[in-house]
């Protein structure tokens, strides 16, 4: 009798276990799945890719989604990474960075029913939502702050590549510097590399030797080298994309925030509720909390400078300041 009872208990537990597994599998199938192809440097760039990854991690924790990612170093081509993510069954596949557009559009044409998101460039394909930012607005404020902070009247801008997207950072920065400090000189160098800290340090060192005392880099991991070199030479720096203060705490007066993490989180939240993405092109600026400045540290602004910075931000939000793009 005892043996029969034991068998029945085992069968009961087995059935319960199988039912639990089935329920877990069903729940997993019902969860929104997101796949992302990261930009060229990938995780650890301490900037763009890391910010996007943070947005997906937040969506996983707060919205109960699943996500997977691919890095260029692992898959070889963007096209292969996108294809793998589509065939993996992701509800949305994200392409991060202007450099992925060609391969993303190839894959999007092969899978017209698949929903894609392109960050930092614009596609006209019906199944791709494009998310771009008004980097020039945030960079304008960064430039104004650099113009206030500079003692030598020479500041530097380091771009990761000589391309239209980076020109937006440069144009905003230059015009922001000039609006508060018309006599200041802005030195510009393009690294043509987003993943080389040594190169960033070398460029920064040369700019500092030429008199620059505030450096702003829109150059991914290369930019981290700029920040650290500025600190080693006891000069000021401005970070980009995320709050980079902790990479050079004695040098970084602020960072130009490009809230890729927020944009992706909100887009995933929308998809989870609406089951689709309606708007095909979204541009996020100061008014949409897409760009802005991190807290100001290291230096102390005068009350007049604080007021001036606040007024410039207000004018940008009211479209009363026109930033000329290259």
The pair of structure tokens assigned to 133 is: 């930012």
Q: How far apart are the first and last CA of the chain?
A: 87
What's the mean pLDDT in 309-315? 97
Distance CA 158, CA 226 (A): 8
Distance CA 8, CA 172 (A): 74
Phi, psi at 287, each rounded to 5°: -65, -30
Distance CA 109, CA 114 (A): 9
| Confidence (pLDDT) at 26 | 40
| Confidence (pLDDT) at 25 | 47
What's the mean pLDDT in 90-94? 97
| Confidence (pLDDT) at 19 | 44
pLDDT band, very low/low/confident/very high, at 49 (cuts 50, 70, 90):
confident
* CA torsion, ordered 219, 162, 291, 55, to nearest 10 deg: -50
What's the mean pLDDT in 231-236? 98
Which pTM does this prediction carry? 0.86
Residue 231 reports pLDDT greater than 80: yes
The pair of structure tokens assigned to 52 is: 């996007």
SS3 163: coil
| Confidence (pLDDT) at 40 | 78
In 183-299, where do the E strands start and end? 185-190, 214-218, 236-241, 252-258, 281-284, 291-293
Distance CA 7, CA 284 (A): 63
Residue 301 reports pLDDT greater than 50: yes
| Confidence (pLDDT) at 15 | 47
pLDDT tens, residue by residue, 191-226: 999 999 999 999 999 999 999 999 999 999 999 999
The pair of structure tokens assigned to 1 is: 């009798």
pLDDT tens, residue by residue, 254-276: 999 999 999 999 999 999 998 88
pLDDT tens, residue by residue, 132-161: 999 999 999 999 999 999 999 999 999 999
The pair of structure tokens assigned to 195 is: 């993943």
Residue 31 reports pLDDT greater than 60: yes
Distance CA 169, CA 165 (A): 7
| Confidence (pLDDT) at 207 | 98
Distance CA 43, CA 16 (A): 41
Distance CA 125, CA 50 (A): 27
SS3 264: helix
SS3 103: helix
Q: Are 231 and 200 in contact (CB under 8 A)?
A: no
What's the mean pLDDT when you consider all of the chain?
A: 90
Distance CA 293, CA 272 (A): 30
| Confidence (pLDDT) at 48 | 78
Q: Would you tell me how many other CB atoms lie within 10 Å of the CB of residue 88?
A: 12
Distance CA 189, CA 172 (A): 15
């Amino acid at each position: 009798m005892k043996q029969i009872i034991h068998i029945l208990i085992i069968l009961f537990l087995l059935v319960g276990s199988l039912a639990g597994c089935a329920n877990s599998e069903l729940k997993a199938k019902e969860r929104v799945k997101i796949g992302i192809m990261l930009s060229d440097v990938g995780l650890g760039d301490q900037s763009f890719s890391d910010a996007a990854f943070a947005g997906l991690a937040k969506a996983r924790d707060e919205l109960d989604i699943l996500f997977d990612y691919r890095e260029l170093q692992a898959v070889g081509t963007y096209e292969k990474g996108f294809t793998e993510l589509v065939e993996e069954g992701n509800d949305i596949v994200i392409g991060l960075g202007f450099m992925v557009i060609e391969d993303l559009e190839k894959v999007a044409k092969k899978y017209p029913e698949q929903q894609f998101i392109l960050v930092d460039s614009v596609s006209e394909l019906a199944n791709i939502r494009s998310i771009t930012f008004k980097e020039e607005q945030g960079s304008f404020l960064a430039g104004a702050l650099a113009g206030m902070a500079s003692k030598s009247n020479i500041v530097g801008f380091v771009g990761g590549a000589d391309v239209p997207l980076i020109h937006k950072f440069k144009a905003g920065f230059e015009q922001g510097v000039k609006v508060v400090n018309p006599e200041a000189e802005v030195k510009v160098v393009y690294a043509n590399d987003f993943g080389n800290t040594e190169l960033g340090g070398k460029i920064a060192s040369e700019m500092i030797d030429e008199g620059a005392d505030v450096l702003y880099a829109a150059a991914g991991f290369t930019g981290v080298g700029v920040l650290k070199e500025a600190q080693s030479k006891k000069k000021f720096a401005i970070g980009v994309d995320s709050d980079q203060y902790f990479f050079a705490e004695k040098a970084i007066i602020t960072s130009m925030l490009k809230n890729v993490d927020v944009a992706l989180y909100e887009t995933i939240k929308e998809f989870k509720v609406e089951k689709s993405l309606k708007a095909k092109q979204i541009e996020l600026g100061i008014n949409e909390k897409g760009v802005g400045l991190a807290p100001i540290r290291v230096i102390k602004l005068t009350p007049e400078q604080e007021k001036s910075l606040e007024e410039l931000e207000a004018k940008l939000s009211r479209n009363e300041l026109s930033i000329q793009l290259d």
